[in-house]
């Protein structure tokens, strides 16, 4: 996910000021370089070494970066159970931090365990109200669970919260655009579920303009076309969903897209 690479670059500029054991900045530099190369399994080892020094790291943003980066190494390699196990253990030791709940929620979400994900996103928001990533994640998970009414306030609040961040600090522009694209994707699903097809398509188009390689938005739009019996458009979007890789579909979504595309091609 591009915004994580961007965040890593931003934090790398601050590492000289981090008060931590001498090897932690070097470990993070190594991990960050591997993340940029999309070598997620290799990046996990230095991140796990770095987090062992958690009690000696006095910069909360550095701890959050390590946890977020670890989360992405499990999500983007489809190792959700490993991520869930790690964050569960971490939460037992540090139950008042919001980020591990959010990262475990993402693993649950990608695995398709929506209620567990919603629970963890809710806990993250209790600990850090207004957190953009938790609002976005819970809203999108609620849409996948079919709870479109509850999803909309989270998604709308995420968009409202993003605006002042982008306006007051232009260096966060790329991060805001990436997150906003994901939120508009979620709104498209929620609006379609509530019968507002035209508004849903407008949200999907906006999401695609902001993040044109996001496979998830094409998969979501394909499902809306499918339900509306717009089968040519559905076929096109299912194929795009399988082709796009930033981010790619989860295995569960990929299997659905492949199976449905075969059915549509066989009946064309």
Q: What share of the chain is helix, strand, coil (3-state, %, to 5)?
A: 80, 0, 20
Structure tokens at 118: 């919603």
User: In sequence order, what DSSP letters do the residues of 150-171 get, joined into one string?
Assistant: HHHHHHHHHHHHHHHHHHH-GG
Segment 52-75, tens digit of pLDDT = 999 999 889 999 999 999 999 999
Determine the average pLDDT of the residues in 157-175.
76
Residue 253: its pLDDT value, please?
Answer: 94
Q: Is the pLDDT at 215 greater than 70, yes or no?
A: yes
Rounded to the nearest 10 degrees, the angle between the axes of helix 173-193 and helix 132-144 is: 20
Q: Which of 65-69, 126-130, 169-173, 261-265 has the lowest mean pLDDT?
A: 169-173
The pLDDT, as a whole number, for residue 21 is 55
Structure tokens given for 116: 């567990």
Mark residue 18 as left, alpha or beta (left: phi above 0; alpha: psi -120 to 50; beta: remaining): beta
The yes-or-no verdict on residue 15 having pLDDT over 70 is no
pTM here is 0.88
Query: Alpha-carbon distance 70 to 81, whole Å?
Result: 13
pLDDT value at residue 164: 75
Q: Locate all alpha helices (DSSP H) within 194-230, ordered by sequence.
A: 197-210, 215-227
Report which of 67, 53, 55 is spatially closest to residue 25, judged by C-alpha positions: 53
DSSP, res 96: T
Record the tokens describing residue 184, joined without a space: 């508009």
DSSP state of 179: H
**pLDDT band (50, 70, 90) for residue 155:** very high
pLDDT exceeds cutoff 50 at 6: no
Rounded CA gap, 34 and 44, in Å?
A: 9
pLDDT at 148 over 90: yes
Give me the mean pLDDT over the 83-95 stretch: 98
């Amino acid at each position: 996910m591009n915004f994580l690479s961007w965040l890593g670059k931003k934090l790398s500029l601050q590492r000289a000021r981090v008060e931590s054991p001498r090897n932690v900045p070097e470990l993070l530099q190594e991990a960050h370089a591997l993340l940029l190369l999309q070598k997620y399994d290799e990046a996990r080892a230095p991140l796990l070494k770095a987090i062992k020094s958690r009690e000696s790291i006095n910069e909360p943003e550095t701890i959050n970066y390590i946890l977020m980066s670890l989360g992405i190494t499990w999500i983007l390699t489809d190792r959700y159970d490993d991520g869930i196990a790690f964050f569960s253990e971490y939460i037992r030791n540090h139950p008042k931090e919001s980020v591990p709940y959010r990262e475990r929620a993402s693993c649950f979400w990608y695995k398709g365990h929506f209620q567990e994900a919603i629970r963890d996103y809710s806990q993250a928001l209790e600990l850090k109200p207004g957190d953009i990533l938790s609002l976005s994640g819970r809203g999108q998970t609620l849409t996948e669970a079919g709870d479109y009414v509850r999803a909309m306030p989270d998604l709308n609040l995420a968009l409202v919260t993003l605006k002042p961040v982008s306006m007051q600090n232009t260096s966060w522009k790329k991060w805001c655009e990436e997150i906003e694209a994901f939120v508009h994707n979620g709104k498209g699903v929620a609006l379609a579920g509530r019968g507002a097809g035209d508004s849903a398509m407008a949200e999907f188009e906006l999401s695609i303009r902001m993040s044109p390689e996001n496979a998830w938005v094409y998969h979501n739009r394909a499902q809306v076309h499918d339900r509306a019996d717009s089968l040519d458009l559905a076929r096109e979007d299912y194929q795009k969903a399988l082709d796009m890789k930033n981010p790619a579909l989860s295995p569960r979504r990929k299997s659905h897209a492949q199976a449905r595309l075969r059915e549509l091609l066989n009946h064309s």
